Amino acid sequence: MIRGPGRALGALVALGLLLSAAPARAGLADRVGATFVLIAEEFVRAFQPLEGLIVSVEGDALYLDLGESRGAQAGQELLIFRKGEEFYHPLTGKPLGRYEETVGWAQIRRVQPRFSEALYVPLDGKPRPRADDGVRITRGRIKIAIAPVLDLTQSKADLRRVPYLLATVLERSKRFQVADPLAVAEIFAPGGARVEEVLGLPNRATRLARTLEVTGWLVSVVLERRGVTYLDTTWISAVTGTALFSRRQPLVAPAAAEEQRFPWEPPVED
């Protein structure tokens, strides 16, 4: 169970301080990890528990009673469910709830103050949604996979530990369960899958997601534009394999002087 965005933000800030307290001339891996802390809360906020109703269906466009005031954001992906018959306590006979049937997914495209418009994503063998069907982001932890960092700067830095840094940030938010980075790394070992495939080939992204039993990918790219190095982090749906939203942040700058945590440690040069 989460403890609220404030508690999550506090954990992220604390981790940010730890990362920024690394050797002053931080290597690229440390800079990427510290930069992710600055944007991680946006990903956490986008996946806070949320529940509402479909109020209208027009083709593949769904209109939900979730607006900005209730936390709806473009890029969110919600489960569509239909309530069925009630079920009862076997001894007391009191109603305990209703059976539910999953009928598809809704990806929010446009948000207004009091409603949002979403794209309907069908589920094989299930009926189309209708008004009064429910939509939700689960209250449970969302299982995701963090892909190895794609470095487009040709820095040749060793970024293998970055997924572990990112996983620590997301796990501490209490909203995500991160797939074992070692298992993910094995998929992207030489001769295996490539990060570019997850970014550009939806069928490949969904197939790999099924292998890991996750509902989304987090793909980070380090790139340079006009002399500035950025961290670009994208959330990719495991349902459709398409990018739902992305955040870009300039890499935090390394400090001018080096401070080794222990005198026997080698300089950080990754």
Cβ neighbours of 92 (radius 10 Å): 8
Whether residue 181 is found in the same domain as residue 236: yes
Q: Which residues contact 30 (CB under 8 A, 6 or more apart)?
A: 19, 22, 23, 165, 268, 270
pLDDT at residue 269, as a whole number: 54
Whether residue 204 is found in the same domain as residue 75: no
CATH code, 111: 2.40.10.410
Whether residue 225 is found in the same domain as residue 183: yes
State the average pLDDT over residues 74-92. 90
Number of domains in the chain: 2
Whether residue 26 is found in the same domain as residue 157: yes
Whether residue 55 is found in the same domain as residue 132: yes
DSSP 73: -
Q: What is the pLDDT of residues 107-130, one digit of tens each?
A: 999 999 999 999 999 999 999 999
Whether residue 127 is found in the same domain as residue 171: no
Of 91, 116, 137, the last residue of a domain is 137
pLDDT at residue 22, as a whole number: 40
Q: What is the pLDDT of residues 193-247, one digit of tens each?
A: 999 999 999 999 999 999 999 999 999 999 999 999 999 999 999 999 999 999 9
Q: Is there a domain that residue 255 lies in? A: no
Residue of 70 and 262 predicted with greater confidence: 70
CATH code, 174: 3.40.50.10610
Quote the Cα angle for 107-220-72, to 5°.
25
Cβ neighbours of 87 (radius 10 Å): 11
Separation of alpha carbons 51 and 65, rounded Å: 9
Q: Which domain, by its residues, includes 162?
A: 5-47+141-250
Of 137, 163, 183, the last residue of a domain is 137
Separation of alpha carbons 64 and 269, rounded Å: 50
**Residues paired with residue 243 on neighbouring β-strands, in sequence order:** 236
Alpha-carbon distances of 52 from 2, 79, 105, 134, 174, rounded to whole Å: 19, 10, 13, 6, 22
Band of residue 84 on the pLDDT scale cut at 50, 70, 90: confident
Whether residue 81 is found in the same domain as residue 123: yes
Tokens of 103: 């009928």
Tokens of 52: 């509402």
pLDDT at residue 254, as a whole number: 78
Q: What is the pLDDT of residues 125-173, one digit of tens each?
A: 999 999 999 999 999 999 999 999 999 998 889 999 999 999 999 999 9
pLDDT at residue 268, as a whole number: 53
Whether residue 100 is found in the same domain as residue 165: no
pLDDT at 23 over 50: no
Of 102, 137, 172, the last residue of a domain is 137
pLDDT at residue 264, as a whole number: 47
Q: What average pLDDT is seen over the chain?
A: 87
pLDDT at residue 88, as a whole number: 85
pLDDT at residue 98, as a whole number: 78
Band of residue 26 on the pLDDT scale cut at 50, 70, 90: low
Tokens of 13: 């800030």
